[in-house]
Amino acid sequence: MFGSKPLYSDDLAAALGVSVRTLQVATHAVHGVSLHHYLRLKRLWAVRVQLMTGGDGLTVKAAALGNGFWHLGDFSRSYRLAFGEAPSETLARGRRPLHLAIGA
């Protein structure tokens, strides 16, 4: 996320004053993954944080869309692959009272 909007390669490159290609090379050199993969993981983590801390009004759909995931099926598969659970499971755990979450 870049402030409160999803972060994309063009936006990031422009903000840093470099080309997208330069950013791709640097991301691969530092993180060992493509820029696209890295930014997708950052957005997945942003959703995860929202789901873990979200209130009663938050939905998985709202968190996903708010972080730039437009195809919810792909989002759900990517989320499960990255974190080993469905986004709805994270949200449910995030909504439990703290004393229950600690003992679980």
Predicted TM-score of the model (pTM): 0.79
CA 23 to CA 8: how far, in whole Å?
A: 11
Q: What is the pLDDT along the chain (104 residues), one digit of tens a residue?
A: 444 567 788 988 999 999 999 999 999 999 999 999 999 999 999 999 999 997 778 999 999 999 999 999 999 999 999 999 999 999 999 887 665 555 55
Dump the DSSP string for 48-102: HHHHHH--TT--HHHHHHHTT---HHHHHHHHHHHHSS-HHHHHHHHHS-HHHHH
| Contact yes or no for 60/48 (Cβ under 8 A) | no
Q: Which two tokens stand for residue 62?
A: 């709202």
pLDDT of residue 96: 78
Q: Look at residue 100 in the predicted model and tell me its pLDDT.
A: 55
